[in-house]
Amino acid sequence: MRRLFPHPLTPSDIEDRTWDLAELAEAYAYPEAPVTPGAPGGQGVGGGGPRKAWLRANMVSSLDGAAHHDGRSQPLSSKADMRIFGTLRGLADAVVVGAETVRKEGYRPARAREAFAARRAALGQGPAPAIAVVSAGLDLDFSLPLFTAPLVPTLVLTGADAPADRVRAAREAGAEVVVAGEGRRVDAARVPGVLAERGLTRLLTEGGPRLLGQFVAAGALDELCLSLAPVTVSGTADRIVSGPPVAVPERFTLASVIEESGFLFTRYHQI
């Protein structure tokens, strides 16, 4: 693994070696969350309001733009990609994921990792990130460990008019149901705010493409961590973002590039 950008580079940056988790944590550290000035009920210094959430996405793509192969992202991944995946989870307050991804990828609760324990404690974070599942219809298997046995209670983000029986099933399983939209839909623009109200400001979304499309359309995405796999898959797989086109393309700026075995691990910030 070697850093290609930003410059200037040190001899250690360009040496092809295995980075330890502390180095990866520094490379992917969240920016200091700003405080909303003058907002009521503030947690900030001098009467400021709650800290603003920072929403980053972590996605992998093939060279020809596929977000998955045969319905799963794992075939596009690598050991280095999984180390970065684990690091991003280790830094986050909450992992935001769509219901379809939960069903396809067999999501399990996030686990506590000793490598990030001291860092999380210093930042006032819990032992592991909460998983926040975005679902309008709550068509989820609430008997899964994700809901019944998480280290940190799983959140279910849904609309105000979500099916009452499914809301009840979620709560009975131990999940916290959070309203983030009117009617039966989730308003992607509201998701960072409702999580920030619960003290969850370092947000990570792992998709899928439809959920990421909603965040892009809402202008809610602050950062994209994109792993580019040196493979082609052809077929009709989704892109990493799937949804209606935005009126004006959102411009991002390149923050960093790391390379290992032909994989490029990039970070882009919203301008």
> Residue 116: pLDDT band by 50, 70, 90 thresholds?
very high
Provide the CA 115 distance to its chain's centre, in angstroms.
Answer: 19
> Residue 269: pLDDT band by 50, 70, 90 thresholds?
very high
Average pLDDT over residues 160-164: 97
Residue (of 199, 190, 106) closest to 152 by Cα position: 199
Q: Please determine, for residue 87, whether its predicted confidence score (pLDDT) is greater than 60.
A: yes
Residue (of 146, 115, 132) closest to 55 by Cα position: 132
How many CB atoms within 10 Å of residue 237? 19
Average pLDDT over residues 238-246: 90
pLDDT of residue 82: 95
The CA distance from 179 to 194, in Å, is 8
Enter the pTM of the model. Answer: 0.91
pLDDT of residue 104: 83
Q: What are phi and psi of 75, to 5 degrees?
A: -60, -15
- Residue 270 vs residues 54, 56, 158, 223, 267: alpha-carbon distances, Å: 11, 10, 26, 6, 10
Task: Name the packing angle between helices 79-91 and 114-122 (round to 10°).
Answer: 30
Share of the chain above pLDDT 90, in %: 78
Q: For the segment 177-234, what is each residue's pLDDT rounded down to a tens digit? A: 999 999 999 999 999 999 999 999 999 999 889 999 999 999 999 999 999 999 999 9
Strand, coil or helix: 234: coil
- Residue 71 vs residues 85, 86, 135, 216: alpha-carbon distances, Å: 19, 21, 19, 22
The amino acid that residue 39 corresponds to is A
Please identify, in words, the CATH class of the domain defined by 54-270: alpha beta
Q: For the segment 25-59, what is each residue's pLDDT rounded down to a tens digit? A: 999 999 986 555 444 444 433 345 567 999 999 99
pLDDT of residue 46: 38
